[in-house]
Amino acid sequence: MTIASTVSGVPLRATVTGLAAGLRELVLGDTDLVEPFHEDARPGKGQGIVLAPWGGRVRDGRWLLDGVPQQLALTEPSRGNASHGLLRYAPYRVLEHGEARAVLAATIHPQPGYPFLVDTTVRYEVGETGLVVTHEAVNVGATRAPWACGAHPYLAVGRTPASALTLTVPASTALVTDERLLPVRSVAVDAPDAPAGADLRRGRRLAELDLDLGLVDVEHVDGIAASTLLDDEGRGVRLWQDAAFGALVVFTPRDFPAVDGVRQAVAVEPMSAPADALNSGDGLAWLEPGESWTGRWGIAPVGLV
C-alpha cells in the first residue's frame, strides 16, 4: 500500500508491505531515500522489515524465563541463532490506510520459546518532516512478557553509489562479536581494540567500511538521535530514533541484491535493545499484563528540497 504527501512542495511517497510491515519504497520526487525492492520480491537481507519481539540474534535460540529454559526456532541455522524476531515472515492486518498514513497490526501468539500474547502495531506517516514510523506493543496476556523491537531500513541517496556516500552515527560504544555475530563485550568506538570502522561519529566513507556492527550509548539530543548518509554536496538522508531506541546496528553488505544489481548498501537499524538481549537483559523491556511500549523513528531528506 502507498501513502503520499509533500516536503516543501516536492512529492513524497512511501510503499509499505503486508509482509513484516516492511518499508518497500520511500521516494522524494524521483529520488529513492531507501533501497527499494519489487512488489513480488522477497526482501533481501531483511530489507525494510520490522523486527519483534527481539531485534538481533539469540544465542542457540535459548534463554531462561524465571529459571525455566526456553527454546526458540533457529532461524539462522548456519550460525545456530534465532534471528530477527517472530514477525519476519508474518502477514500484518491493515487497520487503517489513508492518503498519508497507514497502520498495520500483527499478534504474537504463545509459541515455543516465547509463551506470551502480545499485540503489535506499526504506523507509517508521511508529511512535511518526511517519514515517521511508530511502533507499539501491548501485552494482552496474563503474564509479564519480554519485548524488544527494531527496524531494518537500507538508506539510499537516489542513484549515488553507496561507496561514494558518507555515514555519520552518534554512538560511542561498539559491541565486539564472536564468529556467530553475538556480542561478547563492549568497547569504546575509539579504543585501540575497537572493531575497524566502529567510530562513525565524524563520518566515514562507506567504501572504507565492511560492518555488521551493533552500537550502544547512542547520543540523544532533546530525545532524538540522528544518523546521516550524505553525498559530497551534503545531500542525503537523516535517520532519527527516539529514546525508546537506545541502540542501533550498521550493516554494509557488499553483496546486497539491489534492483540494479548486486552491490554495496547500508542498513542503519534502530533497535530498542542490542543482540541477545533475552539473555543479557540489556535494553529489554518487560511488559506487565495490559502494559504498552511505544517507540518512534523516521527518515527525513537533507538538502534535497
Helix (H), strand (E), coil (C) string for the chain = CEEEEEECCEEEEEEECCECCCEEEEEECCEECECCCCCCCCCHHHCCCEEECCCCEEECCEEEECCEEEECCCCECCCCEEECECCCCCECEEEEECCCEEEEEEEECCECCECCCEEEEEEEEEECCEEEEEEEEEECCCCCEEECCEECCEECCCCCCHHHCEEECCEEEEEEECCCCCEEEEEECCCCCCCCCCCCCCCEEHHHCCCEEEEEEECCECCEEEEEEECCCCCEEEEEEECCCCEEEEECCCCEEECCEEECCEEEEEECCCCCHHHHCCCCEEECCCCEEEEEEEEEEECCC
**pLDDT recorded at residue 280:** 98
Mean pLDDT, rounded, for 92-113: 99
**pLDDT recorded at residue 17:** 98
Could you read off the pLDDT of 209-237 as tens digits, one per residue? 999 999 999 999 999 999 999 999 999 99
Write out the three cell numbers for 18: 503486508
Fold of 2-302: Beta-galactosidase; Chain A, domain 5 (2.70.98)
Residue found under cell 520490522: 50
Amino acid, single-letter form, for residue 296: R
d(CA 258, CA 243): 31
Please, is 194 exposed, middle or buried when counting C-beta atoms within 10 Å of its C-beta (0-12, 13-18, 19+)? middle
Mean pLDDT, rounded, for 3-25: 98
Residue found under cell 554494509: 252
Mean pLDDT, rounded, for 167-180: 98
**pLDDT recorded at residue 245:** 99
pTM of the complete model: 0.97
Mean per-residue pLDDT of the chain: 98
Percent of the chain with pLDDT over 70: 100
Mean pLDDT, rounded, for 184-206: 98
Mean pLDDT, rounded, for 4-29: 98
Domain limits, the chain: 2-302
Do 260 and 199 meet the contact criterion of CB atoms below 8 Å apart?
no
Compute CA distances 246 → 93, 150, 215, 288, whole Å.
28, 10, 9, 21
**pLDDT recorded at residue 182:** 97
**pLDDT recorded at residue 141:** 99
Residue 58's pLDDT band (boundaries 50, 70, 90)? very high
Write out the three cell numbers for 17: 508491505
d(CA 50, CA 121): 10
Query: What is the four-CA torsion angle of 71, 72, 73, 76, rounded to 10 degrees?
Result: -110
Amino acid, single-letter form, for residue 137: A
Q: How many CB atoms lie within 10 A of CB 88?
A: 18
**pLDDT recorded at residue 232:** 97
Query: Could you tell me how many residues make up the chain?
Result: 305
Could you read off the pLDDT of 253-272 as tens digits, one per residue? 999 999 999 999 999 999 99
Mean pLDDT, rounded, for 21-37: 98
